[in-house]
Structure 1
Amino acid sequence: MTDPWATFGADLHIDPNGATGLRTGLMDALREAARTGRLAPGTRLPSSRSLAADLGIARNTVADAYAELVAEGWLTARQGSGTRVAQRAEPRRAAATTPRSRPPRTRPAYSLMPGSPDLSTFPRAEWLKAARRALTEAPNEAFGYGDPRGRVELRTVLADYLSRARGVYADPERIVICSGFVHGLRTMGKVLRQRRVREVAVESYGLDVHTRLLAEAGLRIPCLPLDELGCRTAELSGMPGAGALLMTPAHQFPTGVPLHPDRRSAAVDWARSTGGLILEDDYDGEFRYDRQPVDPTPREPGTSPVRYWKGQVGALQGLDPERVVYLGTASKSLAPGLRLGWMVLPESLVAEVAETKGYSDSCGALDQLTLAEFIRSGAYDRHVRARRLGYRRRRDELVAALAERAPRIGVTGLAAGLHVVLRLPPGVDEHAVIQAANWLGLAVQGVGAFRHPDARAEGWAGLVVGYGTPTDSAWAGTLEALLQALSAVVDA
């Protein structure tokens, strides 16, 4: 029996079999391939000898089919150029229909969406240098499946970096490399379920993708309220079913407040007394612009929260490495597209997490080795320092512009990270400002988009402004669009 198909360079399958004979069947198959665009104009066909061998038919059958299709204009044949598909009009395709009431979606000219750094500042030259050195020095076994915890070279340099930069107790044997925070949280969700945890408490404002991941793992997600001192961790005592707590203690997302020391202690005390775990999301710990010490003076009525608590704090994990799972990534410091993250685990969890993670959905060994070299060489520290200055400059320009042109807008939260929360005056509709920004080609999000479904509305409206997102060249235009949107609604 002959093989019923042949594979061309573009993985095109030809079935010459038909009721009217092999030659006619081959011609019909080639016409259809050219008509539908499967064989693009100009595509060179195999020689008659090669195609005949592939199909298991006589060479003369293929040669006759080619000759007839040349005569019909479907193919061209020139000495030295072989047989090719003729240039023909593009096949007409049915136009996609859209409801008349739905305008075409266009990409906004400007974006202040939180969660992303300025991608144009990725250190390409230094990264390439690190990649070349990492590839040159990589041991042969690095190209195998390896350890599910990740490359030891990266775990070693991360342990040193996290210890000096974030106050994390990070032995290399306690670190598991993952492909970002979502991967780490998904893995931890599975581990918690295996440990018969049923509830993970979360902050009343945060990313819904994180709560969805926990819910998909079969976990309930009650929320803890927030105020100007951060998450109200004392209320954990009223959640007897909670076996873990997910939080952003150094710089709460999105409100921007750091967790007060008393509440940090309360969270750790809860974990110790109940055997619970704290999942610490240190998403932008590298970017701190406020070095003032803790002010223990009670807040006076009417005082802005940012004036009361400006504490420069390290990671919560340092208070109790056996009760806190520290999760960090290179997404904000370098770029989310690298898909590089890490978990620093209690000793009792390392084997279980590594087994649960396995070899799936993990970042490549060469990327891990490159980041290890990038950190070891000092390039990572230099890049972070440079970006810290750049983002602080943008934040300062934003605050100054608001004070001059929109003085009724309040700026809340710690001077840190890649975003700021703008508090709108009473009576100003959050959605109206977002709509005005959209009309000006500016993408921005409101605080309400991050509220937990069970959380009580705080009675105020605001915008979460990701000033780290625009490129340097787009920053001035983006800031102007924001100011115009605010003026159009707030001053109306």
Structure 2
Amino acid sequence: MNRSNGSPSEGSITTVGPPTEVAASDFLQLNPAEAPKGGMADWLARHIRHAVANGLLPAGSRLPATRVLAGELGVSRGVVTEAYRRLTEDGHVAGRGRGGTVVVAAPLARPTERRVTEPRVTADDGTSGKPPLFTAPPDAGVFDALRAAPARIDLSPGLPDLAAFPRAAWLRAERSVLAGLVPSDFGYGDPRGTPSLRRAVARWLALNRGIAADPDEVLIVAGTAQALGLLALVLRDEGVARVAIEDPSSLGIRQHLHNSGLQTPPVPVDEQGIRVDALRATGARVALLTPAHQFPTGVVLDGGRRRELADWARDGGLIIEDDYDAEHRYDRPPVPALRSTLAEHVAYAGSVSKLLAPALRVGWLLAPRRHRSALVDAKRFADLGNAALPQLVLAHLMESGELERHLRFLRRRHRGRRDAMIAAIAARLPGAVVHGAAAGLHLTVTFEPGRDDTALAAAALERGVKVQPLSWHAQRPGRPGLVLGYAASTPSDIREGVAVLGSLLG
């Protein structure tokens, strides 16, 4: 076949001149080729009105700058300006000066949709006299519902002082970190975490928890919740079906383990800590403990029980140590972590949730050597590793001494609030017994048998005070009580909240 005429042969690709750029915008997927001739401004305004009406552009949405949108659509700026003028005149948008053009109209309700609202947890269901939140055993969404429940005073345990977050120090650290980054630092990193944070965590644990660890032993995770999830995955693959836990213990922790398919046989706790004889009786080979400040009782695992527990671990047991608030202590010396003396028998989990803020989702896991590789694989396939920038900022705060200064500040503030709560309980709840006041962010009060602590928590919520019943955190029957957080409330709110509890108890 004669191809001298320059026509392309079958199967070949011929490029004739540079590619033609097609005018279009990602904003509302606008394609100006669809607009009628001479009606571009009307076409654009109509599309934006439709997006407002169906909720694609809710109130507060910022429209693209006129120059930017005109360039994307390949039209004159005057076309976009005219469309925005029409939308302003009919009340869909408003100019905000340097803030740009903002949607101010609300979307139309779709006739086929029914608005769904969350039930008010303070409404009585008419059957038990309790708010629905307390009418049944707590389910997986109970803490979300409790957080969403309106209340004047929140005495929930585990809630740190979020108002104390060191914003200025964080911003300084963030600027310093960003100034020193190179382009490659914005890529995928080590799933174990950034080297700088693993080094900083290793030093922090050595200084504050007596743990000697190499940075390579540190796995950065998205809080203790993810640490438990990764451990559960690895342990299940090894044939573990049960993790013994203290009783009482955190309902949230128990829910995480159940969600991972693990059973949680309860082991009683007394004034010396977990009863190791009862732990042995369960036959479980893994146990999750809070030895430095047992949740929720506040008991510290004493020396005798530590020795018994060490013997149990050396017989083939694994301890998961949840060191959730050990840095917060007031009236007692520090308690060394179990990990400091039983490194190859303890998987140690900690985080900055109680020290800085849960929103950061940064924690760490130190596991025995035999589990490390599997845990790193589990972390890799879970999320490829935590976000690097918050890790780098946290490492800077740790290494600069800012985090240590913040901890000293928190201890002073928390001590004052703890003292206010103890004084209020003595004045308003004279029959209550206080537990675990020497450390942490909460304390527990117990009452004489016969009281219904869920009914008391329900009545308190009706009066605008949020607390948690002790029975939520127990698997076996025990004394009724309340678990009260004080870190996030002012002394005056604490006094008022306890006064409400006193009035309900009569």
- Normalised by the shorter chain, which TM-score bucket? 0.7 to 0.9
Match in the other structure for 1:309: none
- 1:489 corresponds in structure 2 to 504
The change in CA–CA distance for 1:439 and 1:89 in structure 2 (over 3 A counts) is: closer
Aligned-residue CA RMSD in angstroms?
3.9
Q: 1:124 to 1:322 in 2, by over 3 A?
A: same
Q: What residue number does 2:25 align with?
A: 7
Per the alignment, residue 456 of structure 1 pairs with: 476
CA distance in 2, matches of 1:358, 1:100: 39
Deviation at 1:284, TM superposition (A): 0.4
Structure 1 CA distance, aligned partners of 2:28 and 2:34?
Answer: 19
- The one-letter code sitting in structure 1 at the alignment partner of 2:346 is V
Once the two structures are overlaid, the 10-residue window that deviates more, 113-122 or 206-215, is 206-215
**What is the aligned partner in structure 1 of residue 162 from structure 2?**
119
Which amino acid in structure 2 is aligned with residue 374 of structure 1? L
CA contact (8 A) 1:411 1:420 kept: yes
Superposed CA offset, 1:91-127 (max 9, x none): 6426837699987886211101111211111112222
Listed one character per residue, the Cα deviations across residues 372-421 of structure 1 (whole Å, up to 9, x for unaligned) are 12111111111111111211121112112222333212111251000000
The verdict on how the C-alpha distance between 1:439 and 1:220 changes in structure 2, with shifts beyond 3 A counting, is closer
Q: CA deviation at 1:320?
A: 0.9
Distance in 1 separating the partners of 2:199 and 2:153: 40
2:14 aligned residue: none
Identify which of 451, 455, 458 aligns with 1:428.
451
Q: Does 1:402 align with 2:425?
A: yes
Q: Partner letter of residue 113 of structure 1?
A: S
Q: In structure 2, how many angstroms separate the alpha carbons of the residues matched to 1:429 and 1:277?
A: 36
Q: CA deviation at 1:210?
A: 2.2
Deviations 1:311-333 (A, max 9, x none): x5211112210010111101111
Q: How does 1:298-313 map to 2 (within 5 A)?
A: 312-313=334-335
Alignment of 1:29-68 (within 5 A): 31=46, 33-35=48-50, 37=52
Which of 362, 365, 373 matches 1:351?
373
Q: Which residue of 2 aligns with 1:415?
A: 438
1:296 matched residue in structure 2: none
Residues 361 and 490 of structure 1: CA distance in aligned 2, closer, same or farther (over 3 Å): farther
Residue aligned with 1:11, SS: helix
Letter in 2 for 1:320: L
> Structure 2: how far apart are the matches of 1:436 and 1:5?
62
- The counterpart of 1:243, out of the listed 269, 278, 285, is 285
Q: Distance in 1 between matches of 2:104 and 2:172?
A: 48
The AA in structure 1 aligned to 2:494 is: T
Residue equivalent to 1:253: 295
Partner of 1:93: 109
Letter in 2 for 1:390: R
Q: Secondary structure at the match of 1:245?
A: strand
Q: Is the 8 A contact 1:34 1:74 kept in 2?
A: no
Q: Is the 8 A contact 2:191 2:384 kept in 1?
A: no
Give the distance between the partners of 1:30 and 1:158, measured in 2 at CA.
55
Q: What is the rounded CA distance, in whole Å, between the counterparts of 1:222 and 1:481 in structure 2? A: 35
- Give the secondary structure class of the aligned counterpart of 1:327: strand
Shifted more, 356-365 versus 185-194: the winner is 356-365
The whole-number CA distance in structure 1 between the counterparts of 2:104 and 2:165 is 44
127-136 or 386-395: bigger deviation:
127-136
Matched residue SS, 2:229: helix
Q: What secondary structure sits across from 2:343 in the alignment? A: coil
Equivalence for 2:330: 289
Q: Give the Cα separation in 1 of the matches to 2:174 and 2:42.
A: 51
Answer whether contact 2:122 2:462 (CA < 8 A) is retained: no
Aligned partners of 2:91 and 2:105 also within 8 Å: no
Check conservation: 2:414, 2:441, Cα contact below 8 A: yes
- Say whether residues 1:376 and 2:399 are aligned partners: yes
Report the TM-score when normalising by structure 2. 0.76
Cα separation, partners in 2 of 1:198 and 1:487, compared to 1, 3 Å: closer
Contact 1:14 1:30 in 2 (8 A): no
1:12 shift after superposition: 4.5
What one-letter code is carried by the residue in structure 1 that aligns with 2:504?
Answer: V
Note closer, same or farther for the CA distance 1:239–1:90 as it changes in structure 2 (3 Å cut): closer
- What is aligned with 2:309? 267
SS in 2 for 1:113: coil
Name the SS of the counterpart of 1:394 in structure 2. helix
Q: Measure, in 2, the Cα distance between the counterparts of 1:192 and 1:326.
A: 15
Distance 1:254 1:462 in 2: 11
Aligned equivalents of 2:242 and 2:323: distance in 1?
21
Correspondence 1:393 to 2:410: no
Scaled by the length of structure 1, the TM-score of the pair is 0.78
The AA in structure 2 aligned to 1:272 is R
Asked if structure 1 preserves the Cα contact closer than 8 Å seen for 2:268 and 2:275, the reply is yes
**Alignment length (residue pairs):** 442
CA distance in 2, matches of 1:388, 1:350: 34
Q: Secondary structure at the match of 1:358?
A: helix
- Structure 1 residues 327 and 97, CA gap change in structure 2 (3 angstroms): closer
Q: Secondary structure of 1:199's match?
A: coil
> Residue 465 of structure 2 aligns with which residue?
442
Closer, same or farther: CA 211–50 of 1 in aligned 2, 3 Å: same
After superposition, the Cα gap between the structure-2 partners of 1:121 and 1:47, relative to the gap in structure 1 and judged at 3 Å, is closer
Give 1:36 shift.
5.6
Q: Which moved more, 1:29-38 or 1:424-433?
A: 29-38
Deviation at 1:361, TM superposition (A): 6.5
Residue type at the aligned position of 1:456: R
Offset, 1:26: 11
Shift of 1:148: 1.5
Identity over aligned residues, as a percent? Answer: 36
Select the residue among 476, 480, 484 that pairs with 2:492. 476
Deviation at residue 11 of structure 1 after TM alignment: 2.6
Looking at structure 1, the residues matched to 302 and 47 of structure 2 have their Cα atoms a distance apart, in angstroms, of: 71
CA separation of 1:53 and 1:273: change in aligned 2, threshold 3 A: same
What 5-or-longer segments of structure 2 have no aligned partner? 1-20, 93-100, 124-147
Structure 2 CA distance, aligned partners of 1:231 and 1:424?
Answer: 22
Q: Are 2:373 and 1:331 equivalent residues in the alignment?
A: no
Aligned to 2:138: none
What is aligned with 1:168? 211
Pair 1:52–1:291, CA change in 2 (3 A): closer
SS of alignment partner, residue 434 of structure 1: helix
1:278 correspondence with 2:319: yes
